[in-house]
Each structure stands twice: as C-alpha cells, then as structure tokens.
Amino acid sequence: MSGKQLGFIGVGTMGHHMAGRLLEAGYSLVIHDTNEIAMQRLEQRGAKRAASPADVASQCETILVSLPTPDVVKTVAFGKNGVIEGSKVKVFVDLSTTGSSAAKEVAAALAQKGITAVDAPVSGGPTGAEKGTLAMMIAAPRAIADELRPVIEVLGKFFHIGEEPGLGQTMKVINNLMSATAQLITAEAMVMGVKAGLDPTTMLSVINAGSGRNTASEDKFPRCVVPRRFDFGFPTALLYKDVKLCLDEAEALGVPMVVGNAVRQLMSIGKAAMGPGADITEFVKPIEQWAGVEVGKKA
C-alpha cells in the first residue's frame, strides 16, 4: 500500500501521533476531526482536511480511525455523514478501544455497504504512538490483514489476533485491565513503603530488579509520579472505560473477575475525586491522601 492515500479520522491524543508517523513514512492523508487545532497541526505537515467522515470516505479506499468511545465510533462509522455514506471506501480500520460487541455491530453495519471493518486496537499509550512502538492487535481476514501490514508496521508491532471482529477488542481490554491493575497496586505499594520510611526511588530500583516489576514501576512511577509531573498523557476516563468494557465482557462470558472488580472500584473513587480528565498516573493521589504521605523525591 506504499504511496497510496489513506484517510484518518480522529487525530487527538493518540491519532495525531499515528497520523504524523504515516505522513513521515510517505503516505498522503485525508483527515477529519471535530477539533480544529488538531486538524491544523497535521495540515501544517501536509495532510489534507475533509469536511466529514463521509467526505474522507469519498476520497480514500482505506480509512483509519482513532476515537474515544464506542458511541463516537458508531456515529463516525454509520451515523449521519458517516463513513458508510462515502463513495470510495472499502476498508475501515478501527484503532479505538470499543469492546467486542461494538466492533461486531460496526462490522455488520458496514458490511451491508460492502465495507470491510478491521478490528485493530492498539496498546502503548501516547509515547508508543509517537515512537511507533505500539502493540497492534489486528482482527480481520488474513488477506486483508496482510495487505494492511505495511501501514500497521509504521505504527507498531503487528499481531494477527484472528479473523472475526471483536477478537482484537477482547485482547485489548484484557491488556488494559492488567495495565490498570499494575498502576493501582503499584500506587498502594509505593504509598505503603513511603509511609514506612522507605525512599521511593530506592523502592523502584529494588522492585524493578526483582519480581514485582511492571509497566507502572518501570515507566509511569519513575517518569511521572515520583517527579510529580503526572503527564503520561492518558485520561482517567478512557482507562476506566476500557476496564468497564473488559468486566462487562467477562460477565457476559461467565468469567469471574474478583480482582478486576476491585480495580474498577478503586478507579471509580479516583475518577470521582480527581475528575475524568485527570492523568492516569494521578490515581496515586487519593491513596496518598488517605495515608497522609506523598510519593515523591525527598528534598
């Protein structure tokens, strides 16, 4: 697909990094977003703006979307002025996290117009999107997945999860539940250690040299929490949404999630205390307040 024109809808927190990488790799992009500033940033780098999702879909055979919620994905896919109304589109690649039921619904709706939906959620956060190191979970017919592979590998590591829409979403929400669990248990452990008199930087060095290491201890805490920056770049509301999607699917499958439900409860407390727009690294703050200590570099 080298040299072909691609559509990209949703160029915000994750999307602008992914779209930027595609531009750098030599793809021409037709973009759309409700955020004017987000569109302008990419226009300055050579992207062409479109007036609506339908407009993108009338100019491009392959469209990638990176959107915040299942409802927004559905609206963009088959709502008024949606992709489904475009005259040229053949493949709809959804990089969002929507859950398996929404992915299946979108695929069924688009199939009525001969459009193939590719379930392709990503993991790795804004940093992974910027560096092109995302885990790309592709659920699509093998031939289409292979055709898309050059595009996908600009963004990260290609994993073919399966043929059916929804399988990529299931993999993604499982991953994000585990990531959220690591974030919260590390917060509790770090607060406990500081309360007991341990130095947080020393704690992280020991944990990361031992069996307790995880994505939060290796990256989020040393980079964002201990320096009190809280700038990982992913909002609490989106991670909470992902955890809820995972637990809802687990319930539908009849799989108990005792630890997962505890994670969701603690996340709901944090979201209520700090607001949905707070950075996910700020989940440590309510625990700090309860304990009366702060996880940060000692003076």
Task: Quick: pLDDT tens for 88-127.
Answer: 999 999 999 999 999 999 999 999 999 999 999 999 988 9
* Beta carbons of 22 and 4 less than 8 angstroms apart: no
Distance CA(280)–CA(278), nearest Å, equals 6
Using DSSP bridges, classify how beta strands 48-49 and 62-65 pair: parallel, antiparallel or unpaired. unpaired
Distance CA(62)–CA(149), nearest Å, equals 13
* DSSP state string for 116-176: EEEE--EESHHHHHHHT-EEEEEES-HHHHHHHHHHHHHHEEEEEEESSTTHHHHHHHHHH
Q: Does the pLDDT at position 3 exceed 60? A: no
Q: Are residues 27 and 146 in the same domain?
A: yes
**What are the residue numbers of the active site?**
172
pLDDT given for residue 298 in this prediction = 56
How many folded domains does the chain comprise?
2
Q: Are residues 77 and 210 in the same domain?
A: no
Task: Give the distance, in angstroms, between the CA of residue 75 and the centroid of all CA atoms in the same chain.
Answer: 19
Does residue 152 lie within any of the structural domains? yes
Q: Are residues 144 and 174 in the same domain?
A: no
What dihedral angle (degrees, nearest 10) is formed by the CA atoms of 267, 159, 30, 165? -70
Does residue 296 lie within any of the structural domains? no
Domain span at residue 84 reads: 5-164
Q: Which of 122, 139, 164 is where one domain is finished?
A: 164
Q: Which of 164, 198, 217 is where one domain is finished?
A: 164
Q: What global pTM score does this model have?
A: 0.91
What dihedral angle (degrees, nearest 10) is formed by the CA atoms of 160, 215, 95, 169? 60
Q: Helix, strand, or coil here: 226? A: coil
Mean pLDDT of 5-27: 96
